[in-house]
Structure 1
Amino acid sequence: MKIVITGGAGFIGSNLARTLTERREISQIRVIDNLSTGNKENIADLDVHLFEGDIQDAALLERAFHGVDAVVHLAALPSVPRSVKDPLASHHANATGTLQVLEVARRAGNPHVIAASSSSVYGANRCLPKHEGLATAPMSPYAVTKLATEAYLGAYHHSFGLPVLPFRFFNVYGPGQCADHPYAAVIPKWINATLNGRPLTVYGDGTQTRDFTYVGTVCQVLTDALLRRVVEPRPVNLAFGHRITLLSLISEIEAATGLRAFKEHTARRVGDVTHSQADESRLRALFPRITPAPLQEGLRATVNWLSRADEHATPAPAGSRNDAASNQHALF
């Protein structure tokens, strides 16, 4: 099989590329990434072909999609706060970008297209756990772009026969997820702060809940979906219903690091969802053999990776910023 991963130099994409290189069924992996939120170093040691550029570039997509069997579409401009700051940028990257991917896939002979949506589409809907039949109620521009992503997949399936599978990612975490930029996800940011003796910024009172999924588990599901060519036009939650409060998460981080964490509470963020928990029924029906990694195991692996990253980090020049270093899906 020949596979394309859009956003393949990012956090989830590079982990998936690494997983796929270990499968004999995969003969070639092509990565598309404009490196605005990804990093070449994430795939430098992998046998992949990098197409450097933007998913809104149809000519680039046509070259990358030629003769492929499947596309895993992960490229996106992540983060709820970022989308609140610049809604148009999120729309162009996530909604228009997805439409371009689907249009080129259709012209390339209808390869299997798997794409990342987000649990943020549930938004203000308070029902728990979140099952895919619930009414969506996006609370941020980012969430709207992800709702558009999965809606376009369904439309192309029904209109053009494109084999698709939209996943609603919840809070994905693990090795490779950077902590040193303004839009970092909560787990790497808090682990990094704990390791370095800095206070953890908690937005609100910390009783918010999240359903975290280890990136290795996500890659297992994506790999299984590719190899078995799982097609489902309806969105599928990619999380396992393991809800935890942010205060409890801090306790787990303390256990994983062996260090005490110091909390610093501040106001809630605009667009943040209060509670999140997946209903795993549809996921389990499609992928019955997947066993998710426990949070404690995933946190230990993440702590180990971040500890090594800290050891090899080069101090940034005074006053410098690294806003474009976000190589993760900040669904929080």
Structure 2
Amino acid sequence: MTDQQSKLLKGKQILVTGGAGFIGSNLCEVLLNQHVKVVCLDNFSTGKRINIEPFLQNQNFKLVEGDIRHLEDCKKACLNIDYVLHEAALGSVPRSINDPITTNDVNVSGFLNMLVAARDAGVKRFVYAASSSTYGDHEALPKVEDTIGKPLSPYAITKYVNELYADIFHTTYNFDTIGLRYFNVFGKRQDPNGAYAAVIPKFVQQFIDHESPIINGDGSYSRDFTYIANVVQMNINALTTENKDALNTVYNVAYGDRTTLLELATLLKTYLSEFDASIKTIEIKHRENRVGDIPHSLASIEKAKRLLDYNPQYNISAGLKEAVVWYWEHLK
């Protein structure tokens, strides 16, 4: 965070929904380190108390235990709030395919509750987690914000509906929002467990346990893997920008490069073998592709650079090297 950004946020109160989750807890940490007042709203359905334990004794941190599906919880959390970072959602394409109703309740009804509560509380800006899944079946690379395809999963539909609601709240109520389309974020505090674990911590846990990671397909599917520090930078830039032209639109949040799943697994194997040489010999296995998965993902970050001064510092290699140290300490 720059000195100018710290100055702009000084004395402000920021609500981070889903603040006990992976991305939310990283945002809370950076804001608290700058002595910003943070309110965390979480129902701990996917967020973890251990993620916010270090913050509980901080006088600038307040936990509101509640659910965005309940409007009263949202209103309570929005009291005296200047800005909202809305991270609360049910992620995962497979989860949405298995249970589209709950995904919709949280991601659409919960999102609308938060918009209403924030608008009524006089919140100055609402920055929310959008998703690269919104690009759907649009095949062209790189992905550019104003060209999307048909959604390929219930999850993708919910995240697109978020963007539509945000746009309506601007045009109808003059309420300022910024949507951030995250591309495959990874880093510390990302959960390796459960049926819907993200691929990087899952692979790391498997390598640490001397198990073979299993890649869906032949490993040629590629993603624009994005280290958490880049995502935090983008959120802070979105919160603090004084460029009016940067508001009420959506941005890709990525590094702007793609890595195949096989390349990813190989990199992880290499970096983890520095801690445990036997990991070098672990075989990488394959199975059929997963329903709803997009073959390739690559973001254009030109819009974010131009309007929000986005300048990602971590490519896949630098991000993995840093993340692996944390994973090794916490997952082994």
Q: Same fold (TM over 0.5)?
A: yes
Which residue of structure 2 lines up, in the alignment, with residue 87 of structure 1?
A: 100
Q: Is the 8 A contact 1:31 1:51 kept in 2?
A: yes
Instruction: Give 1 or 2: higher helix fraction.
Output: 2
1:202-228, Cα deviation, whole Å (9 max, x unpaired): 111110010011011111111222233
Amino acid paired to 2:165: Y
Which residue of structure 1 lines up, in the alignment, with residue 190 of structure 2?
A: 177
Instruction: Give the C-alpha shift of residue 198 in structure 1.
Output: 0.3
Which residue of structure 2 lines up, in the alignment, with residue 3 of structure 1?
A: 14
1:52-111, Cα deviation, whole Å (9 max, x unpaired): 110121112112111111000000011000000001110000011111100111111143
Q: How does 1:212-231 map to 2 (within 5 A)?
A: 212-228=225-241, 231=246
Q: How does 1:72-151 map to 2 (within 5 A)?
A: 72-151=85-164
Which residue of structure 2 lines up, in the alignment, with residue 163 of structure 1?
A: 176
Which residue of structure 2 lines up, in the alignment, with residue 323 of structure 1?
A: none
Counterpart pick for 1:262 among 283, 286, 305: 283
Q: Is the 8 A contact 1:122 1:134 kept in 2?
A: yes
Q: Is 67-76 or 103-112 further displaced after alignment? A: 103-112
Paired residue secondary structure (2:54): coil
Paired residue secondary structure (1:45): helix
Supply the distance in 1 between the matched residues of 2:213 and 2:242 (Cα, whole angstroms).
42
Which residue of structure 2 lines up, in the alignment, with residue 22 of structure 1?
A: 33
Q: Is the 8 A contact 1:124 1:139 kept in 2?
A: yes
Question: Do structure 1's residue 239 and structure 2's residue 254 form an aligned pair?
Answer: yes
Question: Do structure 1's residue 294 and structure 2's residue 315 form an aligned pair?
Answer: yes
Which residue of structure 2 lines up, in the alignment, with residue 204 of structure 1?
A: 217
Instruction: Give the C-alpha shift of residue 174 in structure 1.
Output: 0.4
Instruction: Give the C-alpha shift of residue 136 in structure 1.
Output: 2.8
Q: Is the 8 A contact 1:166 1:236 kept in 2?
A: yes
Supply the distance in 1 between the matched residues of 2:293 and 2:40 (Cα, whole angstroms).
31
Q: Is 239-248 or 12-21 further displaced after alignment? A: 239-248
Which residue of structure 2 lines up, in the alignment, with residue 310 of structure 1?
A: 331
Task: Give the 3 Å change call, closer, same or farther, for CA 289–238 of structure 1 in structure 2.
Answer: closer
Q: Is 137-146 or 59-68 further displaced after alignment? A: 59-68
Task: Give the 3 Å change call, closer, same or farther, for CA 147–161 of structure 1 in structure 2.
Answer: same
Question: Do structure 1's residue 273 and structure 2's residue 290 form an aligned pair?
Answer: no
Instruction: Give the C-alpha shift of residue 170 in structure 1.
Output: 0.7
Amino acid paired to 1:182: A
Supply the distance in 1 between the matched residues of 2:22 and 2:14 (Cα, whole angstroms).
17
Q: Is the 8 A contact 2:237 2:309 kept in 1?
A: no
Supply the distance in 1 between the matched residues of 2:116 and 2:216 (Cα, whole angstroms).
40
Paired residue secondary structure (1:44): helix
Question: Do structure 1's residue 253 and structure 2's residue 287 form an aligned pair?
Answer: no
Q: Is 94-103 or 302-311 further displaced after alignment? A: 302-311
Which residue of structure 1 lines up, in the alignment, with residue 62 of structure 2?
A: 49
Amino acid paired to 1:105: A
Supply the distance in 2 between the matched residues of 1:16 and 1:289 (Cα, whole angstroms).
16
RMSD: 1.3
1:128-168, Cα deviation, whole Å (9 max, x unpaired): 00001113321000000000111111110111011110110
- TM-score, normalising length: structure 2: 0.90
Amino acid paired to 2:48: N
Which residue of structure 1 lines up, in the alignment, with residue 166 of structure 2?
A: 153
Q: Is the 8 A contact 1:188 1:302 kept in 2?
A: no
Which residue of structure 2 lines up, in the alignment, with residue 325 of structure 1?
A: none
- Identify unmatched segments of 5+ residues in structure 1: 312-332
Amino acid paired to 1:40: R
- Identify unmatched segments of 5+ residues in structure 2: 1-11, 274-278
Question: Do structure 1's residue 285 and structure 2's residue 306 form an aligned pair?
Answer: yes
Paired residue secondary structure (1:177): coil
Counterpart pick for 1:195 among 208, 221, 245: 208
Task: Give the 3 Å change call, closer, same or farther, for CA 289–128 of structure 1 in structure 2.
Answer: closer
Paired residue secondary structure (2:69): coil
1:290-317, Cα deviation, whole Å (9 max, x unpaired): 2331212211222222211134xxxxxx
- TM-score, normalising length: structure 1: 0.90
